[in-house]
Amino acid sequence: MIDFPSCLGENGVQVADSSSSSAAKATQNVVTCVYQRKLRGRSCLITITWTKNLMGQGLSVWVDDLAKNCLCKVDIKPWLFSKRKGSKNLEMDSSKIEIYWDLTNAKFGSGPEPLEGFYLALVLDREMVLLLGDLKKEAYKKIDTDPVHSNAIFIAKREHVFGKKFYAAKAQFCDKGEMHDVTIECDTVGLNDPCLVIRIDSKTVMQVKRLKWKFRGNQTILVDGLPVEVFWDVHNWLFGNAMGNAVFMFQTCLSVEKLWTGHSIFDASEQIWSYPQQLSSPQSQGLGFSLILYAWKHE
């Protein structure tokens, strides 16, 4: 599985050095989603990575167990994506796993992840493991399997957002919950005392003043009645070079206080910020959902 913390650096909430513009641009058009699902009696992680470059759209599907042993991987290269419909068969632990996709009429926004008009399905021994997209009826017509809802759990997502002052994303913070618009507002140009504002569905839920003194931190907000811990690191925006990016993490955690008991606020934030690295721990199932946003400024 793609290692989330490697893009965050070794110091948890502190982001990695973004001084290399070429390296930064190479990773910007990528969205990675992680799902947890039991396969043949054991918990596994399914990582879907959507990519976009000059050659077109592409994606990869990676299945591994909680010991980080890769069970199977499929790469659909962008230059092959002119054929936006297809399937692949693989062997996994003496079982047959099938991957089907149809993006013929898929609609995309500014990023590489399709918004509608598509399906992506994983089938193991005729059992639906994961089904993404809005064309579920079309998927079941294509696939020889019973139309049973997949019980895969969406546990983590990371993406790149761009702007000068406003940065927007969508997030579903709980299973079967409402899809929310997440907006980050921060104007750092020519201001001695910039302010950070975060809104959920246009409602202000968090405001950080004196940002130069509070360029890293965390705060709890409520979404759908559930606590969501927000971590931010805007050091690169304020003190870095022009290619620097800020990092934000939205983490649902019903027992988050257990993680920081006896620790300083930054010790705790490092633990929670490194949550994607801890997916292999048995306790990870109680940590909920993580959304990691890399916010890039267009000057």
- Residue 108 domain-assigned? yes
Task: Give the pLDDT confidence score for residue 257 in this predicted structure.
Answer: 44
- Rounded distance between C-alpha atoms, residue 262 and residue 274, angstroms: 18
139: exposed, middle or buried (Cβ count in 10 Å: 0-12, 13-18, 19+): buried
Across 24-28, 44-48, 221-225, 291-295, least confident range: 24-28
Domain co-membership, 112 together with 170? no
148 three-class SS: coil
Task: Give the pLDDT confidence score for residue 253 in this predicted structure.
Answer: 66
- Residue 271 domain-assigned? yes
**Which residue in 130, 126, 158, 156 sits closest to 143, CA to CA?**
126
Q: Averaged over 54-66, what is the pLDDT? A: 87
Domain co-membership, 130 together with 167? no
Domain that holds residue 37: 26-153
pLDDT tens for each residue of 256-286: 444 444 333 334 334 433 434 444 343 344 4
Q: Which residues are bridge partners to 172 per DSSP?
A: none
* Banded model confidence at residue 101, pLDDT cuts 50, 70, 90: very high
- Rounded distance between C-alpha atoms, residue 31 and residue 111, angstroms: 8
Q: Averaged over 44-73, what is the pLDDT? A: 87
Domain co-membership, 133 together with 167? no
pLDDT tens for each residue of 29-50: 889 999 999 888 888 999 999 9
- Residue 21 domain-assigned? no
Domain co-membership, 149 together with 168? no
Across 52-56, 70-74, 225-229, least confident range: 52-56
Domain co-membership, 186 together with 278? yes
Question: Would you say the C-alpha torsion 96, 86, 27, 276 has a positive or negative sign?
Answer: negative
Contacts with 41 (C-beta within 8 Å, 6 or more apart), sequence order: none
Domain co-membership, 292 together with 185? yes
Across 56-60, 210-214, 283-287, 291-295, least confident range: 283-287
- Of 132, 153, 174, the position where a domain reaches its end is 153
- Rounded distance between C-alpha atoms, residue 211 and residue 194, angstroms: 6
Q: Which residues are bridge partners to 108 per DSSP?
A: 114
- Residue 278 domain-assigned? yes
- Residue 5 domain-assigned? no
- Rounded distance between C-alpha atoms, residue 131 and residue 111, angstroms: 20
**Token pair 């990092």 in the structure block, residue:** 247
* Statement: residue 3 has pLDDT above 70: no
- Rounded distance between C-alpha atoms, residue 172 and residue 291, angstroms: 9
* Banded model confidence at residue 91, pLDDT cuts 50, 70, 90: confident
Region class of 202: left (phi > 0), else alpha (psi between -120 and 50), else beta:
left
**Which residue in 262, 264, 265 sits closest to 229, CA to CA?**
265
- Of 103, 133, 153, the position where a domain reaches its end is 153
- Residue 6 domain-assigned? no
Domain co-membership, 133 together with 174? no
Domain co-membership, 183 together with 108? no
Domain co-membership, 232 together with 274? yes
- Residue 211 domain-assigned? yes
The sheet that has 166-171: what strands, in order across it?
166-171, 180-186, 196-200, 203-208
Number of folded domains that form the chain? 2
Domain co-membership, 174 together with 148? no
Task: Give the pLDDT confidence score for residue 77 in this predicted structure.
Answer: 81
Domain co-membership, 197 together with 119? no
What is the rounded average pLDDT for all residues in the chain? Answer: 78
Alpha helices by DSSP H, the chain: 21-28, 136-142, 235-239, 257-260, 265-273
- Residue 2 domain-assigned? no
pLDDT tens for each residue of 219-245: 999 998 889 999 999 999 988 766 678
Domain co-membership, 166 together with 139? no
- Of 153, 182, 200, the position where a domain reaches its end is 153
CB 88 within 8 A of CB 99: yes
